[in-house]
């Protein structure tokens, strides 16, 4: 995610009735198309998931691997949606304004199935019970911060980036007591921080390490969860400008790259990086693109043999513009459809 607009609730010039009709028509068409995806492994899975509403502007999402539920959050209103991997549309699950929630950023499901929701420039992080959407905890980060992406570790600990303040948070729970601590002081690390810009964004857990990307510099960093030691991952000169959501599996890091900074000739895509065993080195080996391309992709999750990627159109939202296309969707791209690039070089 990137910086939010000054007036994110600016109304569109079109009448509400006309907009509602257009959204309903587009949503119905997309839902039918998504449901028509060919069977995979004996189960028919959608090729995309529709997020209803003409101003949803979805940002983060998370998948619960135990239940198959998909959660999506709206930047515009803070609405939380829920659906299932087997159905082509998500539905409102927790309305806008609930618990004072007005926007969302990154999301994650922890080892107990609880939903963690970042609050972007509100500097908050919320924890929800998946059984009834009840709020379990409301936690606050640094003043002036932007709590962005969230990842969880196998031991139940969660970590979150702050894109505007130089800190990585650690979230823990003892009994029913939640704690959000300023775990890593970025100013004491080699991470390049650019004041006034969007810095650390996507974050993912890879064993004892965390991997995180700086959207402004395009640098990838490895953080030791045990010691806090930070190392820049050697990508052989490759950079990841506008790096957003991250997902790691089997030695491959999937990096969402939108184009929030309007870099010429940068195609929004999911970049696939093959990493060395110790995660100190990586090479750009492939990219993922759905038919028709992405519409400013933001977050990513790996569900089975597919990558789920939010088409946030966030670049339109921060500019105060209407969406370029409707309905809003999550693309489901088969991992086997990755397009190789170059040789990847030896690691």
* pLDDT number for residue 266: 79
* Tokens standing for residue 315: 């670049």
Q: Examine the pLDDT at 141 and tell me if it is beyond 60.
A: yes
Q: Residue 135 pLDDT > 60, yes or no?
A: yes
Confidence of residue 26 (pLDDT cuts 50, 70, 90): very low
User: 54-298+332-340 has which fold?
Assistant: Neuraminidase (2.120.10)
Give 278's pLDDT tier (boundaries 50, 70, 90). very high
Angle, CA of 304, 308 and 312, to the nearest 5°:
170
Among 20-24, 114-118, 139-143, 190-194, where is mean pLDDT lowest? Answer: 20-24
Q: Mean pLDDT for the chain?
A: 89
- So what's the pLDDT on residue 100? 96
User: Tens digits of per-residue pLDDT, 223-233?
Assistant: 999 999 999 99
- 3-class secondary structure, 25: helix
% of the chain surpassing 90 pLDDT: 81
State residue 16's pLDDT score. 35
At 203 the pLDDT is 98
- 98 within 8 A of 337, measured Cβ to Cβ: no
Contact 161, 119 (CB under 8 A): no
Query: Does the structure show a pLDDT above 50 at 305?
Result: yes
Helices (H), 235-323: 314-318
- pLDDT tens-digit series, residues 60-84: 999 999 999 999 999 999 999 999 9
Cα–Cα distance, 81 to 94 (Å, whole number): 7
pLDDT at 343: 56
Residue 170 has pLDDT above 70, yes or no: yes
For residues 221 and 275, the answer to whether their CB atoms sit within 8 Å is no
CB 62 within 8 Å of CB 87: no
Please report which confidence band the pLDDT of residue 346 belongs to, taking 50, 70 and 90 as the band edges.
low
Cis status, amide bond into 327, omega within 30 of 0: yes
Looking at residue 124, what is its pLDDT? 98
Q: Is the dihedral of CA 317, 64, 180, 126 positive or negative?
A: positive
Mean pLDDT, rounded, for 255-277:
87
Give the phi and the psi of residue 114 in degrees, each rounded to 5.
-80, 145
Q: Is the pLDDT of residue 260 over 90?
A: no
Domain layout of the chain by residue ranges = 54-298+332-340
Residue 130: its pLDDT value, please?
97
CA–CA separation, 70 and 192 (whole Å): 34
Region of poorest pLDDT, from 16-25, 92-101, 172-181, 248-257: 16-25
């Amino acid at each position: 995610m990137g910086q939010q607009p000054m007036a994110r609730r600016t109304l569109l010039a079109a009448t509400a009735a006309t907009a509602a009709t257009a959204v309903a028509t587009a949503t119905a068409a997309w839902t039918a198309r998504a449901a028509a995806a060919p069977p995979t492994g004996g189960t028919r899975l959608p090729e995309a998931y529709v997020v209803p509403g003409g101003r949803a502007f979805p940002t983060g999402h998370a998948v619960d691997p135990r239940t198959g539920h998909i959660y999506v959050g709206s930047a515009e209103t803070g609405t939380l949606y829920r659906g299932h991997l087997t159905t082509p549309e998500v539905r409102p699950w927790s309305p806008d304004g609930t618990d004072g929630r007005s926007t969302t950023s990154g999301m994650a499901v922890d080892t107990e199935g609880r939903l963690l929701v970042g609050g972007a420039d509100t500097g908050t992080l919320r924890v929800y019970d998946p059984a009834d959407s009840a709020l379990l905890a409301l936690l606050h980060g640094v003043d002036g911060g932007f709590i962005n992406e969230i990842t969880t570790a196998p031991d139940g600990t969660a970590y979150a980036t702050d894109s505007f303040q130089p800190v990585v948070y650690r979230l823990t729970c003892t009994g029913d007591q939640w704690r959000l601590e300023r775990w890593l002081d970025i100013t004491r690390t080699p991470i390049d921080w650019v004041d006034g810009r969007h810095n650390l964004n996507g974050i993912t857990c890879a064993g004892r390490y965390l991997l995180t990307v700086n959207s402004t510099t395009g640098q990838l960093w490895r953080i030791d969860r045990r010691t806090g030691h930070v190392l820049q991952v050697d990508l052989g000169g490759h950079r990841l400008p506008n790096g957003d959501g991250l997902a790691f599996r089997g030695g491959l890091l999937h990096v969402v790259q939108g184009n929030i900074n309007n870099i010429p000739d940068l195609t929004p895509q999911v970049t696939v990086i093959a990493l060395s065993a110790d995660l100190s080195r990586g090479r750009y080996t492939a990219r993922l693109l759905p038919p028709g391309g992405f519409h400013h992709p933001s977050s990513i999750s790996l569900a089975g043999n597919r990558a789920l990627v939010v088409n946030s159109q966030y670049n339109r939202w921060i500019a105060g513009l209407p969406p370029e296309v409707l309905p809003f969707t999550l693309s489901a791209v088969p991992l086997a459809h990755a397009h190789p690039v170059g040789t990847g070089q030896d690691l």
